Amino acid sequence: MIISTQNRLSYLRHIAPIIPYVAVLMGLFIFQSAWVSIALYHLGMIIVLWFTRSWYLGQPIKTWHDVIVLIFMIFISFTAGVFIYWLWPLLKLAELLLTTELSDLGLSGLPWLIFIVYYFTVNPILEELFWRGYLGSPSHFVVLNDIWFAGYHVLVLLSFIQTGWIVFSFLILVGTAWLWRQLARRHRGLIIPIASHAAADASIIGAVYLLARLV
């Protein structure tokens, strides 16, 4: 039976959200390497984006309103790391030694610093192209892909924070995915979501780095 190109693309759209789950499970729980995990995840996204030609960032920033929204979203997103830093004594697993956990995943010394830079520069671009671009939706309501996006983060958080906070984080991430998708829809482009995402990633990974150094 010959499967048409349209059907193959339809199948791919349904399978694509599983990519980060496979990457995290293999990278963190089998190979025990953050580098393997992010490499598999990004490679999977790049293959999908290349195959579907989904590299379009949309409209550029044009108006002062766009600039104000951009600055506001960067500021709000950057507070994520601040909250994690100050709430860490409540968030963390009781037995967790953050430096040891990170080192076991290949995050120490120079590789850790390289990972940090890579994480908040490359990751936001690929994720927004993938989740809000290729897998985007014009819906005003929460959609399944918002939940898929939040869900794979839970696998990462399992080894670091308490169960109750994981549930709270999941809900926050669903809301964040929805918000970034609305920004992409409202402004007809991914510039603001990418900038906001980069600010969030930078502050969160920065908070983790500082917390690890304080141990």
- Closest residue by Cα to residue 106 from 157, 156, 36, 40: 36
- Closest residue by Cα to residue 17 from 150, 165, 116: 150
Distance CA 89, CA 14 (A): 39
Give the dihedral of Cα atoms 149, 190, 64, 179; nearest 10 deg.
-20
Distance CA 35, CA 39 (A): 6
Q: From residue 87, how far is each of 11, 12, 79 by CA, in Å?
A: 42, 39, 12
Distance CA 200, CA 24 (A): 20
Per-residue pLDDT tens over the stretch 140-192 = 999 999 999 999 999 999 989 999 999 999 999 999 999 999 999 999 999 99
Reduce the DSSP state of residue 92 to 3 states and report it. Answer: strand
Per-residue pLDDT tens over the stretch 71-105 = 999 999 999 999 999 999 999 988 788 999 999 99
pTM for the model stands at 0.95
